[in-house]
Amino acid sequence: MNVDGKRVAIVAGGSTGIGLAVTRSLLAEGLNVCCLSHDAASLQAVSTATAEADRQRLLTLQCDLADAAQISRAVETTVERFGGIDALAYTAGVQAYGSVVETPEDCWDHVMDVNLKGVYRISRACIPHMARRGGGAIVIISSVQGLACQAGVAAYAASKGGVNALVRAMAIDHAADGIRVNALCPGSVDTPMLRASAERFRGDKTVEDTLAEWGKSHALGRVARPDEVANVACFLLGDKASFVTGSTVTVDGGLTAALAVRLPEDET
């Protein structure tokens, strides 16, 4: 039983970007939340920015998601603090650019280690605790790049395609334990990672102009805010999504709904 009767969530990579928005949203919904990150400064910022009334429901832990022992300790600390685990959001991720020819093997391994194997590590640690409590929900932040991809993102696209397949496998394997598992595939989202990419590729433009240009690829004409993705993640983690499992849910502003084909202009 939870120590205070509240549901308990772990947000891996929960101190920046989409993860931070998920952490804030779950706290707002009244959950006890353990926020994991490798970055101590961003964890401190999360704690400082959390209202004092909510701070007792927030646990921040520095954790390297490439280290199974650290993950295990973080999960056990969460259980000791809050009494169990009901939900897991894996929002950590790294981007890399290049074809398979251009991507060094150590870079490939790092992308797979964080984006894909990290999901395996933390799910492996959390699922037994969820099963003992009669069920739970897992949401993994994937990407539209796991469904269709641009040029020059071989490692990233492969990692996200692997995530989508792993989500389906876990959904089937653990349905009998009452555990739902879903992937969420955003399009472009205004996060530090996207801004770093915009800085890299902006040329003579500003970062803001580059983000605005990238936003035009989406039917809605803009990139997403992190909270717009977090809202869907929190829905999937909640009881209102009780019959949703094994799904890849796109939150992409219509990006993958469009074809690149364009009709010629009507000159009549």
pLDDT for the residue numbered 267:
62
The architecture that CATH gives domain 8-187+224-250 is 3-Layer(aba) Sandwich (3.40)
Give residue-wise pLDDT tens across range 189-228: 988 888 899 889 889 999 998 999 888 999 999 999 999 9
pLDDT for the residue numbered 266:
63
Of 1-15, 134-148, 157-171, the least confident: 1-15
pLDDT, greater one: 170 or 259: 170
Give residue-wise pLDDT tens across range 49-102: 998 888 999 999 999 999 999 999 999 999 999 999 999 999 999 999 999 999
Give residue-wise pLDDT tens across range 229-243: 999 999 999 999 999
120 catalytic per annotation = no
From 90, 97, 120, 156, the catalytic residue: 156
Beta bridge partners of 251: 186
pLDDT for the residue numbered 192:
87
**Measured between alpha carbons, how far is residue 40 from residues 36, 181, 201 in Å?**
10, 29, 29
**Measured between alpha carbons, how far is residue 246 from residues 140, 190, 229, 249 in Å?**
11, 27, 18, 10
Evaluate whether 11 touches 31 at the Cβ level (below 8 Å).
no
Indicate the domain borders of the chain.
8-187+224-250
pLDDT for the residue numbered 79:
97
Q: Mean pLDDT across the stretch 134-161?
A: 96
| Cα-only R_g, the chain | 19
